[in-house]
Amino acid sequence: MEIKELTSLEEMLPQFDLMHLMYKKMTPEMYKSFLEVMIPNNYSQVAVFENNECIGVTGIWFGTKLWCGKYMEIDNFIVHPEHRSKGIGKIICDFVEAKAKTLGCVTITLDAYTANFSAHRFYYNQGFGPKGFHFVKILDENGLT
């Protein structure tokens, strides 16, 4: 297995099929247009490859917020269903934590859907815990989630 940080549109576009497992309504064109906005705003992806196939990926952002200072955010964390429970998620989390420390971040944050109990268990096992609620007001019922 090989882990890499993907920083360019050209590196991220081939990961669409894996992201599409999470976001069924997303099209390749939408994915590209979103990435074109996200990449200039401190967004990159961390991906695990096996035999040149991406089997796990997450987006990461870093920035500064008043409540915590410099932080890293994990976004859209997915491991291909055929490769779960093989330590791939831990490999990604360890890479993200090392990167966050290198950048001087004081926290790593993430969101997980309230009904995704397997993700909650995984994140607890990686040292994450709830700090508050992430409230959402849906403005378009036809959105991606």
Q: What is the pLDDT of residue 145?
A: 60
Q: What is the pLDDT of residue 144?
A: 63
Give pLDDT < 70 ranges for the chain.
Answer: 144-145
102: enclosing H helix or E strand: helix 88-102
Q: Collect contacts of 108-114 with beta carbons under 8 A, ≥24 apart.
A: 108/71, 108/72, 108/73, 108/74, 109/68, 109/71, 109/72, 109/73, 109/74, 110/73, 110/74, 110/75, 110/77, 111/75
Q: What is the pLDDT of residue 142?
A: 75
Q: What is the pLDDT of residue 41?
A: 95
> pLDDT digit string (tens) for 27-50?
999 999 999 999 999 999 999 999
Q: What is the pLDDT of residue 26?
A: 95
The Cα–Cα gap between 60 and 100 comes to 10
Q: What is the pLDDT of residue 140?
A: 86
CATH number of the domain at 2-125, out of 3.40.630.30, 1.10.760.10, 3.40.50.620, 3.40.50.2300?
A: 3.40.630.30
Domain ranges of the chain: 2-125
Q: What is the pLDDT of residue 136?
A: 83
